[in-house]
Amino acid sequence: MKKKGFIFDLDGVIVDTAKYHFLAWKKLAQSIGIDFTEVQNEQLKGVSRVESLKKILAWGNKTLSEADFNRLMAEKNTNYLSYIHKMDTSEILPGVLNALQYLIDKKQPIALGSASKNSVEILNKVNLYKTFDAIIDGNAVTKAKPNPEVFLKAAEAIKVAPENCIVFEDSVAGIQAANKAKMMSVGIGDASVLNEADIVFKDFTEIDFKFLNELIKEKRIINKRKKNIE
């Protein structure tokens, strides 16, 4: 039995911070005369802060000086953090704690693989900081998802070969990153949106211990499709 590694995305998998990102991006967009919708917010899931602002400006046909771009990004984050500061353990998504506890009981290495630069702050608020053996987030990578860097670094940090890692991800960009890293991609959300994932669950309440145990025990978790991904 090869040693497995379990890598969790943060926003949209462990907690639903997309609603706070939405409020903060909407305020910013409005301040520069851009209309920002929830549908557009969906497209920012898993996308880094810099790339998110670039997308919003493109949607609104606006360009900014570098100084204004950086100022607005900082303002957005301050506003976003005002929501994060009010978070507590009640915001952990259903089923997540059970799954984490099961993997801990089975002595499985677990890592965080998130695009967020606020991951430590968020994990502390929901009392999960010490749960992870490694935390790789937006501060540790230079290339944003769908680049596999974040997950490859997470695998390295928990000393598990990428092909023995399982990634739980809610964004299309994140699923693509896991696939490029040749890891098993488990989508959390809508199967029609996450159609590139190896398997999709609506949320963690659909993931039972039997499934987790199969992942732990399975000799080869990578399906044939992965071999063709460059």
Binding site for Mg ion (CB under 5 A): 9, 11-12, 46, 170-171
Residues binding ligand B16 (CB under 6 A): 9-12, 21, 44-49, 52, 77, 114-118, 138, 171
Q: How far is the CB of 217 from ligand B16 (least distance, A)?
A: 28
**Closer residue to ligand B16 (CB): 177 or 216:** 177
Q: Taking CB positions, which residue lies at the least distance from Mg ion? A: 12
Q: φ, ψ for residue 212 (rounded to 5)?
A: -65, -40
Q: Quick one: which of 149, 185, 132, 193 has its CA closest to 10?
A: 132
| Residue pointed to by tokens 């005369």 | 33
Q: What is the DSSP string of 83-145?
A: HHTT--GGGBPTTHHHHHHHHHHTT--EEEE-S-S-HHHHHHHTT-GGG-SEEE-TTT-SS-T
Do 80 and 46 meet the contact criterion of CB atoms below 8 Å apart? no
Cβ-based nearer residue to ligand B16, 171 or 185: 171
Q: Is 11 a catalytic residue?
A: yes
Minimum distance, C-beta of residue 145 to ligand B16, in the bound complex (Å) = 6
| Residue with smaller CB distance to ligand B16, 20 or 162 | 20
Q: What is the DSSP letter of 11?
A: B
CA distance 14 to 65: 35
Contact partner, 40, from ligand B16, Mg ion, none, Cβ < 5-8 Å per class: none
For the bound state, the minimum distance from the C-beta of residue 205 to ligand B16, rounded and expressed in Å, comes to 19
Rounded to the nearest whole angstrom, what is the least distance from the CB of residue 139 to ligand B16 in the complex? 8
Enzyme catalytic residues: 9, 11
